Structure 1
Amino acid sequence: MSLHTDTVPFVRESGNRRPTPSSDAKPLGGVPAALATWLSNHDFPDAHSRGLEGTTPLMLAALHGDDGLVEALLAHGVRVDALDDTGNQALWYACLGGAPAPILRLINEGAEIDHANDDDITCLMQAAASGRVELMQLLLAHGASEGLYAPDGRNALDMAAERGFELLRVSRRLGGGTKDAPRAPERQRADPQRGAISAHMAGDKAA
């Protein structure tokens, strides 16, 4: 999954294709009954296997916001840094789901908060492009860097500013406004906007 502005994407589960057991596979008899049932219901032969697009049980549990399952999988020894076929880790899926508990648990378990996927997009950039300010605040409060840049030269604050202008234009159209909303400033004139957002985020950190 690359950069998008939808809140939560549809993630295909195994379907007719059986997930691939990992070399770290352990028999389901060695996991708690509730976890074993969940794995079986989602066609995972074990806690370390992979489904479509390289999705692991931990990624799916994180996307669903099920912190109890995330905790159980981590206790069973699954890798917090495992990547899917496009270079996303479980923290990315947790951020797509938006539930704070799995996000915090994965960060505390060592998930790299500034990990960039194969498109060089971080969780903070994804949150910014989606207009999810609360998620941005959560990630920044736990050490996410706002100074990393995507291949197109934008950082997370640039993406947040552009998303804000986009939402303003939409709201004016829906409200029957006769004039277009202001266009997003060009990058060379964007420093005041980024500075204002930076100051806001810095204030949240200090608080």
Structure 2
Amino acid sequence: MSLHTKTVPVVRESASRRAAPRADTALRNGRSAALATWLSSHDFPDIHSRGIDGITPLMLASLHGEDRVVATLLDEGARIAALDDEGNHALWYACLGGAPAPILRLVEAGIEIDHANDNDITCLMQAAASGRVEVMQLLLSLGASEGPSAPDGRNAFDMAADRGFELLRTVRRLGNAKQGSPGADSHCADAGRPAIEADVFADKAA
């Protein structure tokens, strides 16, 4: 009876293949260290802790437009659906800050884009009421719904229209004050309002 020894081929990894896992680990460790420094500088013990008004690290980073921190927090398991004391999540803060990158990242990560806070206000409504047209456009392009209404019955487009009228009246008041004719303010605003309303609601209908 003869015994045969099975030869097992030796697979040699290239230096680049062997180095890749170490490089990935080093990069991850570097990000974790940077995140730990960021958390400490903002008085957060960990990624799940809360600050004043229930704000989380993810909310604060989103507000400040710190997309790298947002990305690292999400990678480390930060709760994307966490709410502050008024029922707002991280997307609300990203929209307040206005930087596109955190908004895009949070929506891509699965945050609820049409979430309404404790006052039944969505992120789209908040952007509209604040006159943040660029944020409105971005949210709509990402699938935000214009349908939800606030307790007063207005939707986001109604709020945007009201904000537009308010800004227009302010500009006209400033212009009239500069010209020294305050009496013309109400006349100009009232005369221009019907035409502007027609334009706004024509755009909405389109």
**Bin of the TM-score, shorter chain as denominator length:** 0.7 to 0.9
Q: 1:193 aligns with which of 193, 200, 203?
A: 200
Q: What are structure 2's unaligned runs of at least 5 residues?
A: 1-28
Partner of 1:109: 109
Q: Taking structure 1 as the reference length, what is the TM-score of the superposition? A: 0.76
Amino-acid identity (%) = 69
| Distance 1:184-1:156 versus aligned 2 partners, 3 A rule | farther
CA distance in 2, matches of 1:198, 1:123: 22
CA 124–191 in structure 1, closer or farther in 2 if over 3 Å, else same: farther
Matched residues in 2 for 1:98 and 1:70: separation?
14
Cα separation, 2, equivalents of 1:184 and 1:122: 27
Number of aligned residue pairs: 167
Unaligned runs of 5+ in 1: 1-28, 200-207
Tell me the secondary structure at the aligned position of residue 119 of structure 1.
coil
| Aligned counterpart for 1:179 among listed residues 180, 185, 188 | 185
The superposition leaves residues 106-153 of structure 1 with CA deviations (integer Å, 9 ceiling, x where unpaired) of 000001110000000000000000111111100001111111100000
Shift of 1:197: 3.4
Whole-Å Cα distance in 2 between the matches of residues 54 and 179 of structure 1? 44
Q: TM-score scaled to structure 2, two decimals?
A: 0.76
| Whole-Å separation in 2 of the counterparts to 1:197 and 1:171 | 23
Partner of 2:20: none
Q: Which has the larger radius of gyration?
A: 2
Deviation per residue, 1:182-202 (Å, 9 max, x gap): 3867xxxx7873341353xxx
d(CA) in 2 for partners of 1:184 and 1:55? 40
Alpha-carbon distance between aligned partners in 2 of 1:149 and 1:128, rounded to the nearest angstrom: 12
Aligned match of 1:81: 81
* Counterparts of 1:198 and 1:99, CA distance in 2: 29
Report if aligned partners of 1:157, 1:194 keep a CA contact under 8 Å in 2. Answer: no
Aligned to 1:203: none
Aligned-residue Cα RMSD (Å) equals 2.1
3-state SS in 1 of match to 2:150: coil
Q: Relative to total residues, which structure has the larger helix share, 1 or 2?
A: 2
| Residues in 2 aligned to 1:57 and 1:194: alpha-carbon distance in whole angstroms | 40
Q: Which has the higher contact order (CA 8 A, sep 6+)?
A: 1
Q: CA deviation at 1:53?
A: 1.0
1:162–1:184: 8 Å Cα contact kept in structure 2? no
User: Is the Cα contact below 8 Å between 1:157 and 1:198 reproduced in 2?
Assistant: no
